[in-house]
């Protein structure tokens, strides 16, 4: 029913009265601070304008009344997010306090902006050896890409016969279209890294798991922009459609961290999937340089800040297949996480100059034309594009997990992470808040996955494996790792105190041990996640999220003027 001007006036008077009855200090003292995330608290003083928010109900039975209250307060529901018992809505800033004080409301968060985060890679990490020696190609494993969509007709996404695409399903949370498309191009690039078969390059530019199938969930628009509610809706869709048989979720998009992972709706939604046995792989972010051009710590993005998410930083293969010359990518975000001060990332993988699929009708195809690449077949367009970022490193790991799950479908998300860390390769120049457990070793990970499926379920450490995992914030090491470890069970939070197993030795604390206790770490590590071109510059590597670069690609969104992109300060 349309409100009359009188009704609207009365509602405004009511809201002004409520607003005037609370000063900002009184709101904090009243306990509403625990209901509002920090980014929203700043909007309590606004008497005009609207804000996109995520409102979590105290229980499922309260969800309907919360939705009704939003409508009464002049707000508009965008969508219901059943996975986290929440509503995404557009509400008047003047109504935020009233909404936060309502008895059925558990928490309100800003619906934050998100953005999107080759043959040398194959050889560097050993996935080519896996396909050659074992015949694994990811067949039978479905990976969901939560990104900008997918170009399902691309030759490299056809099956072995070349007749049928391997894109099983497509859902568009941005425009509601039903036919697969990718107007930005980021999602197609990511999907190609995971499952491209190299058809347009005679197999040279194949992905890590060219037999895997893809479920594409579009959450970014043609400019690479989206919101956390779109990602949560994609999580919700996967959880409510088990018939899709998704085993891995690739999240090459990210959002700023303003809340502990224990209350952030995005990280909570990711937890629901992990507890159901789905591995959630997320980009660490690309804010590894500070304002002064030096390495910036404390720059991990969400949901990669959550312990149950497998968080991927970026390395560089330096344009060679020789693993010995690999380096950390300077742009790759470092730990510890904001708010919770937890050890991250988990592992790093090649993310510089990664060659993968493109869509000739996409934004990236037009804006990144110097980095387009031809294949070996004659086509009226360039089928490939070279990009850099943790957005590219993440699908390298997702593709590796597809190989692991083909070798051993019984692996739990915690077992997958443990194997990837245990078999990784440590590079001495880099601390654990930069490289995590180490550099990805796909061949070792598949070998350990196979060992977990053996009668004794035990993998013995090889000479080139780290033999270590970062459980919580501490390093643990052992000469063997077993599938039966209680820490690998479903619904166990990575880092819980139950990890200790016979034969494992506790090492240093990653966050406050020798790796980060000196002047280089500082007492406050400040980063900006967007909207500031001085955050990071680079002469020979990608920098991202609106930052500037001299001669390489710029991905993961363009600019970010929303308040959610304000600088984040991490305090120990």
Measured distance CA(12)–CA(18) in Å, rounded: 10
Q: Is 416 exposed, middle or buried (0-12, 13-18, 19+ CB in 10 A)?
A: buried
Give the SS3 label for residue 92: strand
147 in catalytic set:
yes
Measured distance CA(566)–CA(501) in Å, rounded: 43
551 in catalytic set:
no
Query: Which stretch of DSSP H or E encloses residue 169?
Result: strand 167-172
Torsion, Cα of 527, 531, 535, 536 (10° steps): 130
Structure tokens at 463: 């000479």
346 in catalytic set:
no
Torsion, Cα of 433, 498, 266, 564 (10° steps): -40
Contact between 363 and 406 under an 8 Å Cβ cutoff? The reply is no
Catalytic residue (one of 154, 186, 189, 317): 186
Residues whose CB falls within 8 Å of the CB of residue 437, separated by 6 or more in sequence, listed in order: 346, 347, 420, 421, 422, 424, 426, 466, 468, 469, 470
Catalytic residue (one of 201, 391, 398, 564): 391
Contact between 274 and 280 under an 8 Å Cβ cutoff? The reply is yes
Catalytic residue (one of 111, 118, 147, 473): 147
- Please state the three-class secondary structure of 279-346 as a single string: EEEEECCCCCECCCCCECCCCCCECCCCCCCEEEEEEECCCCCCHHHCEECCCCCCCCCCCCCCCCCC
Peptide bond into 336 cis (omega under 30): yes
- Which of 469, 190, 210, 204 minimizes the C-alpha distance to 351? 190
How many angstroms from the chain centroid is the CA of residue 565? 17
Give the SS3 label for residue 254: strand
Measured distance CA(96)–CA(508) in Å, rounded: 44
Contact between 188 and 229 under an 8 Å Cβ cutoff? The reply is no
Q: Is 455 exposed, middle or buried (0-12, 13-18, 19+ CB in 10 A)?
A: exposed
- Bridge partners (DSSP) of residue 171 are 217
Active-site annotation, residues = 147, 186, 391
């Amino acid at each position: 029913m349309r409100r009359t001007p009188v009704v609207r006036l009365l509602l405004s008077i009511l809201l002004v009265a409520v607003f005037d009855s609370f000063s900002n200090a009184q709101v904090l003292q009243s306990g509403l601070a625990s209901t509002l995330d920090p980014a929203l608290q700043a909007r309590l003083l606004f008497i005009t304008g609207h804000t996109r928010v995520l409102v979590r109900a105290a229980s499922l039975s309260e969800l309907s009344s919360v939705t009704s209250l939003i409508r009464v307060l002049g707000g508009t529901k965008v969508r219901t997010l059943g996975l986290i018992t929440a509503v995404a809505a557009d509400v008047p800033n003047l109504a935020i306090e009233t909404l936060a004080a309502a008895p059925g409301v558990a928490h309100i968060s800003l619906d934050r902006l998100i953005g999107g985060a080759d043959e040398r890679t194959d050889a560097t990490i050993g996935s080519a050896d896996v396909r050659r020696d074992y015949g694994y190609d990811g067949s039978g494993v479905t990976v969901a890409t939560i990104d900008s969509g997918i170009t399902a007709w691309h030759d490299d996404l056809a099956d072995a016969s070349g007749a049928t695409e391997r894109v099983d399903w497509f859902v568009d949370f941005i425009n509601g279209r039903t036919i697969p498309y990718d107007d930005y191009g980021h999602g197609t690039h990511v999907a190609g890294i995971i499952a491209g078969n190299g058809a347009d390059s005679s197999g040279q530019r194949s992905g890590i798991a060219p037999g895997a199938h893809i479920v594409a969930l579009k959450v970014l628009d043609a400019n690479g922009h989206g919101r956390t509610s779109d990602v949560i809706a994609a999580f919700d869709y996967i959880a409510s459609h088990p018939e899709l048989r998704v085993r891995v979720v690739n999240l090459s998009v990210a959002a700023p961290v303003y809340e502990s992972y224990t209350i952030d709706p995005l990280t909570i939604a990711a937890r629901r999937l992990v507890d159901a046995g789905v591995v959630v792989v997320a980009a660490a972010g690309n804010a590894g340089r500070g304002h002064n051009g030096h390495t910036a710590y404390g720059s991990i993005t969400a949901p990669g800040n959550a312990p149950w998410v497998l968080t991927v930083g970026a390395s560089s293969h330096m344009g060679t297949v020789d693993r010995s010359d690999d380096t950390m990518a300077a742009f790759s975000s470092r730990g510890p996480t904001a708010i919770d001060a937890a050890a991250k990332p988990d592992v790093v993988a090649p993310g510089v100059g990664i060659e993968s699929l493109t869509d000739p009708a996409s934004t990236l195809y037009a804006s990144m034309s110097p980095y387009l690449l031809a294949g070996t077949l004659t086509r009226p367009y360039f089928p490939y594009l070279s990009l850099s970022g943790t957005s590219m490193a993440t699908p390298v790991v997702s593709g590796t997990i597809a190989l692991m799950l083909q070798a051993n479908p019984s692996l739990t998300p915690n077992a997958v992470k443990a194997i990837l860390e245990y078999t990784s390769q440590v590079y001495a120049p880099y601390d654990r808040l930069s490289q995590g457990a180490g550099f990805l070793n796909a061949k070792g990970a598949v070998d350990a996955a196979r060992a977990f499926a053996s009668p004794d379920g035990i993998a013995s450490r090889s000479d080139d494996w780290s033999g270590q995992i970062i459980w919580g914030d501490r390093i643990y090491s052992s000469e063997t790792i077993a599938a039966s470890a209680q820490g690998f069970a479903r619904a166990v939070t990575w880092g819980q105190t139950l990890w200790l197993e016979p034969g494992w030795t506790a090492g240093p604390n990653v966050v406050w041990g020798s790796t980060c206790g000196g002047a280089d770490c500082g007492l406050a590590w400040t980063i900006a996640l967007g909207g500031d071109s001085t955050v990071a510059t680079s002469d020979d590597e990608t920098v991202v999220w609106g930052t500037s670069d001299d001669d390489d690609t710029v991905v993961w969104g363009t600019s970010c003027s929303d308040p959610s992109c304000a600088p984040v300060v991490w305090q120990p």
